[in-house]
Structures are given as C-alpha cells and as structure tokens.
C-alpha cells in the first residue's frame, strides 16, 4: 500500500487475519448464544457476574466500573437499562452523598445463575473442546503475554 511503511510479511499477515477473524466469530457467536438462551447481552452478563462475585451483590458504581474496566458513563447507561428490567437496583450511599450502590435483585440472581450454566457449556463446546489441552494452555499463555504487552504500551 505504501513502500515506506514496513508492511506485514505474508505469514504475519495470515496470522494477523486469523486472529482478527477468530475474535470476530468467537465473540459474535458467544453474544448471540447468550442473547438467544438467556436474554442477556454480553454487557448484562459482565455486570451480573461482577455483582455475584461480591458479598451481598452490592457495589459502588466506582468499584464496579473498576472491576470490569468500564467507563463511568457506560456503566451509568447500562445500569439505567438494567434497572428498568429489574435485574439490578440502585441504592443511595449514606457515607457519600454523591455516591450510589448497584445491587443485584433476586430476579437478577436467578437469571445470571441459569445463564452462567448455559454459557459455560457453550464456551466448552466452542472453545475448550476445539483444541488439545496443551494447545489451549498455550493459547492462554500467548493471549496473556499479548494482553499484558498491549496494556503496557498504552
């Protein structure tokens, strides 16, 4: 495309395209599956998992945002939508008048528990079972290395 730019070699290009294609297919399949089986978006799932991971299913906006590495405003929009569907609720924060808690509701718990059980089956079928245990471990190792590099070079 331009000779002054160090373009990728044919082999690098193939690897890169495989990685991009994998991520597109994998995450579109996963979110479609989640939506179809449980009526949850990937965003809903992440929020609910983070809340069930914590005693009382209750977190400050701040802490929840940090936990799942989201921007405040994204979380605020998402919680508004999830509140309407009664998956979570808001609570005021006595210690800090600016702050607020997000709490998972009973319905939220039911939904996420059923969804997680189905989700893990799909992950196993689509991902874990596709590779040998050694290959999967190696993919994990390379992903971690690459992920750390990207985080570091931002």
Instruction: Pick the closer one to its own copies by CB: 23 or 81.
Output: 23
* Residue 46 in tokens: 């992440």
Beta carbon of residue 78, minimum distance to DNA (angstroms, whole number): 5
Longest Cα pair distance anywhere in the chain, in angstroms? 62
Binding footprint of its own copies on the chain (CB under 8 A): 1-2, 4-8, 11-12, 14-16, 18-19, 21-27, 29, 69, 113, 116-117, 120-121, 123-128, 130-131, 135-147, 149-151, 153-154
Candidates 10-18, 89-97, 114-122, 136-144 — which segment interacts with DNA by CB under 7 A? 89-97
Answer whether 71's CB lies under 8 Å from 65's CB: yes
Q: 31: part of which helix (H) or strand (E)?
A: helix 10-38
Instruction: Pick the closer one to its own copies by CB: 29 or 76.
Output: 29
Q: Which of residues 17-76 bind DNA (CB under 7 A)?
A: 28, 32, 35, 41-44, 60-62, 65, 70-76
Answer whether 30's CB lies under 8 Å from 123's CB: yes
Which 8-state DSSP code applies to residue 87? S
Instruction: Pick the closer one to its own copies by CB: 93 or 117.
Output: 117
Does 93 bind DNA (CB under 7 A)? Our answer is: yes
21 binds, among DNA, its own copies, none (CB under 5 to 8 A by kind): its own copies
3-state secondary structure of 97: coil
Residue 106 burial (C-beta neighbours within 10 Å; 0-12, 13-18, 19+): exposed
Q: 102: part of which helix (H) or strand (E)?
A: strand 100-104
Q: Which residues contact DNA (rule: CB under 7 A)?
A: 28, 32, 35, 41-44, 60-62, 65, 70-81, 90, 93, 96-100
């Amino acid at each position: 495309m331009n000779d002054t730019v160090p373009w990728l070699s044919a082999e690098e290009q193939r690897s890169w395209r495989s990685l991009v294609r994998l991520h597109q297919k994998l995450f579109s399949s996963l979110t479609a599956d989640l939506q179809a089986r449980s009526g949850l978006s990937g965003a809903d799932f992440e929020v609910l998992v983070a809340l069930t991971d914590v005693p009382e299913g209750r977190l400050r906006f701040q802490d929840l945002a940090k936990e799942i590495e989201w921007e405040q405003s994204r979380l605020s929009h998402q919680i508004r939508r999830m509140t309407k569907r009664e998956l979570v609720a808001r609570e005021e924060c006595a210690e800090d008048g600016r702050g607020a808690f997000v709490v998972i509701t009973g319905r939220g718990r039911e939904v996420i528990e059923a969804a997680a059980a189905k989700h893990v089956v799909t992950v196993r079928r689509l991902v874990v079972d596709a590779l040998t245990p050694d290959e999967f471990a190696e993919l994990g190792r390379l992903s971690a290395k690459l992920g750390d590099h990207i985080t570091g070079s931002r």
